[in-house]
C-alpha cells in the first residue's frame, strides 16, 4: 500500500538547517580552520552600527583637515607651495679686481660652470701671497641651496678690504618642475659689482725681493725671511714679502687637499706673515735709535771717541772678586758715534746705553722711552699692517718673565745692542728707519696707491742729530758692516745686524736696513733672514744686494 505525504510548505520557503540530514561518518573530516562543518550566522546590528559610526568619524576628520588646509591656512600653504616651485637663487656679484701700482692684475675673476658663478684667479708671480691673501668660496648643502652666499676674504688684502671688494649679490627666481629641472628664471634684483683696488706695491720689485730671500735661505740654511721697501715721502709700501708662502688659488679652491695639508704641516710656517707678525731679536740695527736718544739727551758728544779693545768688564754685583765681561764682536779701537754706527761697535753702545767708568749712560728708562717714540713695542693701529707689538725690555718685563728677578746693568747693556728680550717686527724696523729719513716724523705705512699713511707724531729730535746718524749709515755702506750694498749705481746708507739666538748662540737672525739715494733719500728698506747658522757669512745683506742689482737693470727709476 502506498502512503502519500501531503506537502504543506511553500515552494519559495527556506530550508531550515535542522531539516538537512548529514552523514555522521563525514564529520571528522571537516577542516575546522576553514570553517567546514560550521553554521553561518548573520552580522549583528551592533557591529554594523560601530562600523558606520567609525566611517562617519573618519570622514569628519578628513573634512576638518581639508578645511584647515584650504580655508583656515590656505594663504600660507599657497605661498609655501609657490616657493617650492620658484627657488630664490643668488646672482653672485663680480668681486673687485686687485692691481699693483702699475696696473698689473694680481687677483681677478673668470666664469666657472654656471654663468652666474666665477672663480677667483691669482697671479702666479711669486712673493705676493701674504699681501694679496685668498678667499673662501660660497658654500651650499647637498640639496644645492647656498647657506653661505658670499666670497669672503680670508687673508691679506682680500680680507682687510673684503667689504669693498665683494660688492652685493643680486637675486633671481628660478622656476623648477617636480623633478627639480629648471623651466625658466628671472633676475629680480641685479648684483652690484665690487670695487677694484690699486695697491701701492710694485709686483716686479716684490717678486724679486722674494726670490732673493728664497735663494739665500735655501742656499745657506735660513728657515725663512722677510723684506719691505717703503716710499718715505708717502708711507706707500713698494714691496712687502715673506718666505715661505702659500698658493692663494690652492687655498681658495681647496681641491688639492694634499697641497693644503702640506701647508699646515710645513715647519716653515708658510701662513706666517713674517713681515708683520713675526717677532725677532733686532741686534745691532737698533743702534741708530740708541745714538739718537743719546744725542738728544746730551749723553755724549758725537765726536767723542770710545776705545773698543774687544770687551769691557764690570764688577759682578753678586761676587765681589769676579768681573763680568761684555764682549764686542771685534776690537775696533777708538770710534766716534759715526764710526760706531758704521762699524757696529758693541762696546760704544754698552757705554752710551748703560754707562761705563766716566761715561754716563742713558739707563733703561730713557732707552725704553725713546724706543717707543720710534714705534717699537707698540702696534700700528687700525691698519692693514696692524700686527704684533713686540717687546722693549724693562725691569717690570724682567720681573714678570724671570720669577721676580731685579734688573741689572748687564741687562741694560744687552738691550742697548738689541739683544736680551728685545723683539721687533720687520715692519717696525722699516717704519722707524723712515722716521730717521724724515728727520723725526713717524708715519704709518700705506698699502694703497696714492693714499699716504697718516702721520703719527714727531719724535722731537733736532735735524742736526739725524744728520749724524745718516752720515754714520752712509759710512757703513762705504767702509763698515754694510759694504755689500756699496754699489756703483746708487748711493746707499745702511745698518746691518746679527742677533744671536738661544743660550748656545749657534743661530742668528741676519738683518740689513737702510735708505737710498743718500743725497735725496726717498726709499727705506729692511731685510731679515730668519734663524741661520752663526757661521754663515751670507745673509740679509746678500739678499738685499741681489734685489737692488735686479732693480738697477729692470726698475732703475727707483734710483733716480
Give the pLDDT confidence of 429-449 residue by residue, as tens digits: 999 999 999 999 999 999 999
| Structure-model confidence comparison of residues 326 and 505, the more confident one | 326
pLDDT digits (tens, 9 = 90+) for 315-341: 887 788 889 999 999 999 999 999 999
Between 41-55, 281-295, 508-522, 533-547, the lowest mean confidence (pLDDT) is in 41-55
Strand order from edge to edge, sheet including 493-501: 237-243, 224-231, 523-533, 507-516, 493-501
- Rounded mean pLDDT, 298-312: 97
Q: What is the spatial distance between Cα 165 and Cα 97, in angstroms, rounded to a whole number?
A: 8
Residue 138: pLDDT band with limits 50, 70, 90: confident
Q: Which of 99-113, 140-154, 359-373, 533-547 has the lowest mean pLDDT?
A: 140-154
What CATH homologous superfamily does 203-259+266-559 map to? DD-peptidase/beta-lactamase superfamily (3.40.710.10)
CA 361 remoteness from chain centre: 41
For residues 10 and 108, the model is more confident at 108
Residue 52 CA from chain centroid, whole number? 75
In DSSP terms, 504 is beta-bridged to: none
Q: Could you tell me which of 119, 115, 113 has the C-alpha nearest to residue 95?
A: 119
Q: Which of 32-41, 50-59, 407-416, 468-477 has the lowest mean pLDDT?
A: 32-41
The CA-atom distances, in angstroms, between 491 and each of 123, 202, 347, 478 are: 33, 21, 28, 9
User: For residue range 79-119, what is the model confidence (pLDDT) as tens digits?
Assistant: 555 555 666 778 888 999 999 999 999 999 998 878 667 89
Question: Which grid cell is 445?
Answer: 705705512
Q: Which string of DSSP letters, residue by residue, matches 508-538?
A: EEEEEEEEE-SSS--EEEEEEEEEEETT-S-
Spatial contact of 164 and 451, defined as CB atoms under 8 Å apart: no
pLDDT attached to residue 5:
44
Instruction: Lowest mean pLDDT of 66-80, 229-243, 365-379, name the range.
Output: 66-80
Q: CA-CA distance, 91 to 115, in Å (whole number)? A: 10
User: What sections of 156-304 are H helices per DSSP?
Assistant: 156-160, 162-166, 203-220, 248-253, 257-265, 287-297
Rounded Cα gap, residues 510 and 533, in angstroms: 10
Strands of the sheet containing 182-189, edge to edge, are 86-91, 170-176, 182-189
pLDDT, one tens digit per residue, over 252-264 is: 999 999 999 999 9
Distance CA 163, CA 165 (A): 6
CATH 3.40.710.10 placement within the chain: 203-259+266-559
DSSP letters for 21-69:
---TTTGGG--GGGTTTPPP-PPPHHHHHHHHHHHHHHHHHHHHHHHII
> What pLDDT, on a 0 to 100 scale, did the predictor assign at position 377?
96
- Measure the CA–CA gap between 122 and 109, rounded to whole angstroms: 9
Residue 294 confidence class, pLDDT cut points 50, 70, 90: very high
With 60 as the cut, is the pLDDT of residue 30 above it?
no
274 has a pLDDT exceeding 90: yes
Rounded-to-5 percentages of helix, strand, coil across the chain: 35, 25, 40
Is 3's pLDDT higher than 50?
no
Which residue has 578645511 as its cell numbers? 67
Q: Which residues make up the CATH 3.90.1310.10 domain(s) of the chain?
A: 87-198
Please give the Cα distance from 40 to 62 (Å, whole number).
Answer: 36
Q: What is the pLDDT of residues 201-221, one digit of tens each?
A: 999 999 999 999 999 999 999
Q: Count Cβ atoms within 10 A of the Cβ of residue 522 and give its class: 0-12 exposed, 13-18 middle, 19 or more buried.
A: middle
Q: Could you count the other beta carbons within 10 Å of the beta carbon of residue 557?
A: 8
Binned at pLDDT 50, 70 and 90, residue 265 comes out as very high
Sheet strands (E) in 255-346: 306-308, 311-315, 323-327, 333-335
The pairing of beta strand 197-198 with beta strand 98-99: parallel
* % of the chain surpassing 70 pLDDT: 84
Contact assessment for residue 372 and residue 392, using Cβ atoms and an 8 Å cutoff: yes
What does the pLDDT average to over 6-12?
Answer: 49
Under a CB-based contact definition with an 8 Å cutoff, are residues 528 and 274 in contact? Answer: yes
pLDDT higher than 70, residue 10: no
Provide the pLDDT for residue 2. 45
CATH of domain 87-198: 3.90.1310.10
Amino acid at each position: 500500500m502506498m502512503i502519500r505525504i501531503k506537502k504543506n510548505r511553500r515552494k519559495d520557503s527556506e530550508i531550515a538547517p535542522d531539516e538537512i540530514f548529514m552523514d555522521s561518518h563525514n564529520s571528522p573530516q571537516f577542516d575546522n580552520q576553514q570553517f567546514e562543518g560550521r553554521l553561518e550566522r548573520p552580522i549583528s546590528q551592533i557591529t554594523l552600527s560601530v562600523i558606520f559610526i567609525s566611517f562617519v568619524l573618519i570622514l569628519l576628520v578628513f573634512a576638518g583637515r581639508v578645511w584647515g588646509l584650504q580655508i583656515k591656512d590656505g594663504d600660507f600653504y599657497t605661498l609655501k607651495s609657490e616657493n617650492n616651485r620658484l627657488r630664490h637663487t643668488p646672482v653672485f656679484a663680480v668681486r673687485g679686481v686687485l692691481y699693483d701700482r702699475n696696473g698689473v692684475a694680481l687677483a681677478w675673476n673668470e666664469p666657472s660652470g654656471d654663468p652666474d658663478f666665477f672663480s677667483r684667479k691669482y697671479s702666479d708671480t711669486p712673493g705676493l701671497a701674504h699681501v694679496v691673501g685668498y678667499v673662501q668660496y660660497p658654500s651650499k648643502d647637498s640639496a644645492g641651496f647656498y647657506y653661505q652666499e658670499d666670497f669672503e676674504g680670508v687673508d691679506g688684502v682680500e680680507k682687510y678690504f673684503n667689504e669693498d671688494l665683494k660688492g652685493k649679490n643680486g637675486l633671481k627666481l628660478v622656476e623648477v618642475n617636480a623633478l627639480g629641472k629648471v623651466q625658466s628664471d628671472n633676475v629680480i634684483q641685479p648684483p652690484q659689482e665690487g670695487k677694484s683696488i690699486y695697491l701701492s706695491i710694485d709686483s716686479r720689485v716684490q717678486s724679486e725681493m722674494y726670490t732673493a730671500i728664497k735663494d739665500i735661505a735655501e742656499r745657506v740654511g735660513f728657515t725663512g725671511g722677510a723684506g719691505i721697501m717703503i716710499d718715505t715721502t708717502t708711507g706707500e709700501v713698494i714691496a712687502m714679502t715673506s718666505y715661505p708662502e702659500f698658493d692663494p688659488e690652492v687655498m681658495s679652491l681647496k681641491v688639492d687637499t694634499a697641497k693644503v695639508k702640506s701647508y699646515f704641516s710645513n715647519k716653515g710656517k708658510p701662513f706666517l706673515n713674517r713681515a708683520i707678525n713675526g717677532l725677532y731679536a733686532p741686534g745691532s740695527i737698533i743702534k741708530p735709535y740708541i745714538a739718537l736718544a743719546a744725542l738728544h739727551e746730551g749723553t755724549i758728544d758725537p765726536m767723542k771717541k770710545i776705545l773698543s779693545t774687544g770687551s769691557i768688564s764690570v764688577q759682578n754685583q753678586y761676587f765681589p772678586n769676579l768681573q763680568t765681561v761684555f764682549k764686542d764682536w771685534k776690537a775696533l779701537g777708538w770710534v766716534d758715534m759715526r764710526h760706531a754706527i758704521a762699524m757696529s761697535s758693541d762696546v760704544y753702545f754698552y757705554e752710551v746705553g748703560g754707562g761705563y767708568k766716566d761715561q754716563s749712560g742713558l739707563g733703561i728708562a730713557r732707552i725704553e722711552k725713546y724706543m717707543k717714540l720710534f714705534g717699537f713695542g707698540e702696534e700700528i693701529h687700525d691698519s692693514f699692517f696692524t700686527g704684533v707689538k713686540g717687546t722693549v725690555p724693562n725691569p717690570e718685563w724682567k720681573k714678570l718673565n724671570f720669577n721676580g728677578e731685579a734688573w741689572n746693568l748687564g741687562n741694560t747693556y744687552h738691550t742697548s745692542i738689541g739683544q736680551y728680550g728685545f723683539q721687533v717686527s720687520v715692519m717696525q724696523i722699516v717704519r722707524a728707519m723712515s722716521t730717521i729719513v724724515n728727520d723725526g716724523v713717524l708715519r704709518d705705512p700705506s698699502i694703497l696707491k696714492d693714499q699716504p699713511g697718516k702721520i703719527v707724531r714727531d719724535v722731537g729730535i733736532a735735524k742736526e742729530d739725524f744728520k749724524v746718524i745718516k752720515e754714520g749709515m752712509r759710512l757703513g755702506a762705504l767702509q763698515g758692516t754694510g759694504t755689500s750694498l756699496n754699489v756703483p749705481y746708487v748711493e746707499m746708507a745702511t745698518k746691518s745686524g746679527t742677533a744671536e739666538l738661544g743660550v748656545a748662540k749657534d743661530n742668528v737672525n741676519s738683518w740689513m736696513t737702510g735708505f737710498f739715494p743718500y743725497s735725496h733719500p726717498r726709499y727705506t728698506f729692511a731685510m731679515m733672514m730668519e734663524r741661520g747658522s752663526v757661521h754663515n757669512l751670507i745673509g740679509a745683506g746678500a739678499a738685499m744686494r741681489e734685489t737692488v742689482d735686479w732693480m738697477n737693470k729692470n726698475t732703475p727709476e727707483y734710483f733716480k
